[in-house]
Structure 1
Amino acid sequence: MENRPFIDKGMQWLVLAYVLAFSVLMFLTNHGDFVLWLNDRHTTFGDFFFRYWTHVGDGVLLGIVALYFLLTNLYRFYYMLIAIALQTVFVHIFKQWLFAGEPRPKTFFAEQLDHLNFVDGVNVRGFDSFPSGHTASAFTLAFVLISICKNKTLNVSFFIAAVLVGISRVYILQHFLRDIYIGSVFGVLAALLAWYIMKPYTDRPKLQNGLLKKK
C-alpha cells in the first residue's frame, strides 16, 4: 500500500476545524440545545434525506466495502477489518458498560414530545444514547477510505458524508451533539490505530492482491 501519512495536511486542517467547531458548540450550549434547534428546522426534504442517509452508518456499507477489499486487496481488507473491530469495541464499552441506559432525546425530552417533530418511518429509541454507533461507523469508513484515496475532492466528500450521518442522528432524534461528536472521534481513532497496526505490512506483495487478483 502507499507509503504516505494517514491523512494529508489538507484533511488534517479540515479535521481540526471540525473538532474546534464542535468543541466550541458543545461548550457554548446546554445538553439538548442542538437537538431542539435542529428539530425546529425540519423540512420535507430534510425528513426524506436524513431518514435514508442515516443508514450509511448502520454497518452494511462497511461490510460491502470490506468485501470489495477482500476480493481485490487483502492489505486493505485487514486494515478495514481491524478498524471495524476497534470501533465496535470502543462503542460497546461506552454504550453498554460505562454509559449503559443513557437517555436519548425521546426520553430526555419526555415532557416535550408534543412539541417535537418525529420523522415518519423512523423507530426512535429511548436509551443507550452515548456514543453514536452509526456516526462511529461512518467516520471509520470515511477515514479508512481517506487514508487510501489520493483524490482530494473525493476525500472531502467522504468526510462530509460522514458528518452528515452524524447530523442525521440528531435530526431524527436518536442522539445528542456529544454522542455524534464522540462517535466521530472513535471512528477516526479506530481507523488511525488500524492504519498504524498494518503499516509494517505495507510492502508485503501478497497482501496487495485479493481473492480475485491472486498471482
Structure 2
Amino acid sequence: MTLSDLFRRNRAFFITYLLLLLTVGGLMLAYTKEQLIRFVNAHNTPVGDALFPYLTYLGDGSFVIVVGVLLLVVNRRAGWLVLVSFAVSGLISLFLKLVVFPERLRPIRYFEHSNWEYHVIKDLRINEYNSFPSGHTTSAFALFAMLAFLWQRKAWGWLAVGLAAVAGYSRVYLFQHFVEDAFVGSMLGTFTSVGLCLFYQKRYGNLPLLY
C-alpha cells in the first residue's frame, strides 16, 4: 500500500484533517500565538469549563491505553497498532519536549508577569513547563487517526478528526498549551499512525479492519 492508496481509502479523514490544518495554519500565520490564546481564553463559558476538563481525557495516555487493551480482546492486531502508535508518537513527543524544546513555557508561566487577567478553571492543575508539542493532542490524533484507518466505515473518518480536534482544542481552552503546540502535536500523532500503517501493510499485508 502506498500513501496515495491510504489517502484514497480514507478520503473523509484526510480531507477533513487537511481542512483543519489549513484553517488553523492560516490563523497561525495571521496572528501571533499570544493573540490566538487570548482569543480562545476570552471565549470561555460555564459549559466549556464544565466539559473540557473531561473532554481533554480523549488525549490522555491512560484513555488511549484502555482503548488499545480493549481492542486487543476484539482484534489483537488492531489493538497492537493502536498501542504501538501511541508509544512511538509519545516517545517522539517527550523527546521534543525534554531535549529539543525544553525552554518552551506553558501559558501560565509565559504570562506570569503580564497584566492580562486570563481565565483559568478553579482548582484545575495547570502545568508550567515543556509546552511544545502538546502530548495530549499527539496521543489523541495518533489514536483517532489509527481508528479511522482501521474502521471499515470510512465515511466516519470526519468523526475521528473531530474527536481528536476536541482534545487538541481543550488543551488551549484549559490554558495548558498554545495553539502551535496542539497544531504540531496533531501532525506528530497523525503522521505516526500513517507511517505505522504503511509499514504494517508492506510487511504483513492488509490492515485489520474494525466493524
Give yes or no for contact 1:95–1:129 (8 Å, CA) kept in 2.
yes
CA–CA separation in structure 2 for the residues paired with 1:74 and 1:39: 42
Q: Which stretch shows the higher mean deviation, 9-18 or 101-110? A: 9-18
Q: 1:97 and 1:176, CA in 2 relative to 1: closer, same or farther beyond 3 A?
A: same
**Residue equivalent to 1:212:** none
Which is greater in Rg? 1
Give yes or no for contact 1:87–1:190 (8 Å, CA) kept in 2.
yes
Matches within 5 A, 1:53-202: 53-112=55-114, 115-152=117-154, 154-199=156-201, 200-202=203-205
**Residue equivalent to 1:17:** 19
Deviation of 1:157 (Å): 1.9
Deviation of 1:165 (Å): 0.7
CA–CA separation in structure 2 for the residues paired with 1:115 and 1:88: 33
Question: What percent identity do the matched residue pairs reach?
Answer: 26
Give yes or no for contact 2:59–2:137 (8 Å, CA) kept in 1.
yes
DSSP-derived class of the 1:167 partner: helix
Give yes or no for contact 2:12–2:157 (8 Å, CA) kept in 1.
no
CA–CA separation in structure 1 for the residues paired with 2:206 and 2:104: 45
**Equivalent AA in structure 1 for residue 158 of structure 2:** V
Deviation of 1:152 (Å): 4.5
**Residue equivalent to 1:211:** none
DSSP-derived class of the 2:65 partner: helix
Give yes or no for contact 1:106–1:113 (8 Å, CA) kept in 2.
no
Provide, for residues 38-74 of structure 1, a one-character-per-residue CA deviation record: whole Å limited to 9, x for no partner. Answer: 1111110010111111111111221111112222222
Deviation of 1:112 (Å): 3.3
Q: 1:203 and 1:195, CA in 2 relative to 1: closer, same or farther beyond 3 A?
A: closer
DSSP-derived class of the 1:115 partner: coil
Give yes or no for contact 2:12–2:155 (8 Å, CA) kept in 1.
no
TM-score between both structures, scaled by the size of structure 2: 0.89
Give yes or no for contact 1:135–1:183 (8 Å, CA) kept in 2.
yes
CA–CA separation in structure 1 for the residues paired with 2:42 and 2:153: 37
Deviation of 1:153 (Å): 5.5
CA–CA separation in structure 1 for the residues paired with 2:144 and 2:206: 23
Q: Which stretch shows the higher mean deviation, 46-55 or 105-114? A: 105-114
* Structure 1 unmatched runs, 5+: 209-215
Q: State the superposition RMSD in angstroms.
A: 2.0
Provide, for residues 50-105 of structure 1, a one-character-per-residue CA deviation record: whole Å limited to 9, x for no partner. Answer: 11111111112211111122222222122122211220122011101000131111
Runs of 4+ in 1 over 6 A off after TM superposition: none
Give yes or no for contact 1:140–1:187 (8 Å, CA) kept in 2.
yes
**Residue equivalent to 1:5:** 6
DSSP-derived class of the 1:32 partner: helix
